[in-house]
Amino acid sequence: MIIRVTVNGTEFVRDVEPRTLLAYFLREHCGLTGTHVGCDSSSCGVCVVAIDGDRAVKSCTMFAVQADGHEITTVEGLAQGAALHPLQQAFWDCHGLQCGYCTPGMLMASYVLLKHHPNPSEPEIREALAGNLCRCTGYQNIITSVQQAAAEMSPQPVEA
C-alpha cells in the first residue's frame, strides 16, 4: 500500500505492507534511526513519537498505514539546524541521559507533555513519563531536565 507520511516536515511516499509498524517504517523506510525499539511490545516507551504534533504514540504499537496523511515528529525533528531544542539542551545541561537508549522516547513524551501543559508540576512530569522506562534509572535528572526545559520554553512574566 502506498502511503504519504510527513516526517519532521519532509514528505515520505513509500510502499509498505499494512503490517509494517510505524517504528520500523521510520527506521527502515525513512532512515530515521533516532526512534529506538526496545521492548517492542508497548511497555518501555523508547519508540515514542508525536503524531500531528499533540499526541504521543508508541510507534511499535501503531501501523505505518495509520499514519498515511498525518504528520509525525521524531527526535530528529526537534533541533532547528545546529540549535538544540530546549528539551534536548536541558537533557544535556542536567545530565538527563546516561546510556541514551531511552532518551528519544523521553524527549518525545516530554515534547507532547509540554504542548498540553507548558508548566507541569513535578508530579505531573513524573506521571506523564510513567510509560517510559530508563533502565539506567536516571529518572531524577530526567525530571529536572523537563522542568528546566519547561521554564526555558515559557518564561514566567517578570514582576514590574
Could you list the residues that contact another protein (CB under 8 A)? 1, 17-21, 40-43, 45, 48, 55-58, 61-63, 65-66, 68, 109, 112, 116, 127-132
DSSP category for residue 83:
B
CB of 147 to another protein, least distance (A): 17
Could you give the CA distance from residue 15 to residue 120 in angstroms, rounded to a whole number?
40
CB of 128 to another protein, least distance (A): 5
Could you give the CA distance from residue 16 to residue 40 in angstroms, rounded to a whole number?
19
Contacts of 1 (CB under 8 A, 6+ apart): 15, 16, 17, 18, 65, 68
Residue whose CB is less far from another protein, 34 or 131: 131
Residue whose CB is less far from another protein, 116 or 135: 116
CB of 68 to another protein, least distance (A): 8
